[in-house]
Structure 1
Amino acid sequence: MTAPRVLIQHQDFDVSAELAALRAGDARVGAVCSFVGTVRDRNEGASVSAMELEHYPGMTEKCIEAIIDRAVARFGIFGARVIHRIGPLQPLDQIVLVAVTSAHRGMSFQACEFIMDYLKSEAPFWKKEQIPEGARWVDARVSDEQALARWAQIPAH
């Protein structure tokens, strides 16, 4: 049985185990690239003591599946896995894993970054941070939109 490409979960994940499972039994794989996002203790100049992530069940998974499909079509990757945590998180906690496999490193690096850029801008997640002044919702960043826009300028392979 093939592991799901997208998991939204409360519990933490084991990066090493996820990477091993992603490439297991696929002799075509010459490159595995991954990105792990973690909770920082500061954001926009404020100290962050905790974060809570919410999502739109069903829609979130469908959106991420579509992002992965675009990465497969664009970069010819063999496999992909996105795990995104929800619920309460603390600084240093892992939030997200994006992992891809391909024949060569260039495609893996680009596909991993592509998936993460689209994930940050398109997937329906909401972040609420606890700062000294109280709770605040985190807005999308201009830099995330700029990262997404540059993919329109980079030709597909």
Structure 2
Amino acid sequence: MSLSHLNDRGEANMVDVSDKSVTQRKAVAEGYVSMQPRTLELIQSGEHAKGDVFAVARIAGIQGAKRCSDLIPLCHPLALSKVQVDFYIEADKNRVRIESLCKLSGQTGVEMEALTAVSVAALTLFDMCKAVDPDMTISGIQVLSKEGGKRRRQNGSLGASQ
């Protein structure tokens, strides 16, 4: 299998999707922000000095997905029909799990948009809490599933679409 973003001369190339069929496409991604228990308590209780951390990070993640092609050079600009960013507190692990869902009807997948949504939401959460907890870590950013097009990915495996 060759890299699709390189032309015959090995130069960077935006993939031509004009011959692909328009299909329903969906991708889900996740990532984690680990922190001190007190930081998690401040976020969860709404007592953080900067306000509702999840609300701001959610908007940032949605905006990140919408601006993905401005950030990643060879991504196609997409007319997303749905972007959802959710946060799950995992108190036993002192972390927040971020999950994004991106959907559209189009000719190319939305994995990069889902990954960008999680990444920007995680960075925003980090930014809002770094004064309280500068040792937070962001990890585990990955695509959980993808649907539409020729291939389907579910839980880390890639296979033929059904």
TM-score range (shorter-chain normalised) is 0.3 to 0.5
The higher radius of gyration belongs to 2
Normalised to the residue count of structure 2, the TM-score between the two structures is 0.42
Normalised to the residue count of structure 1, the TM-score between the two structures is 0.43
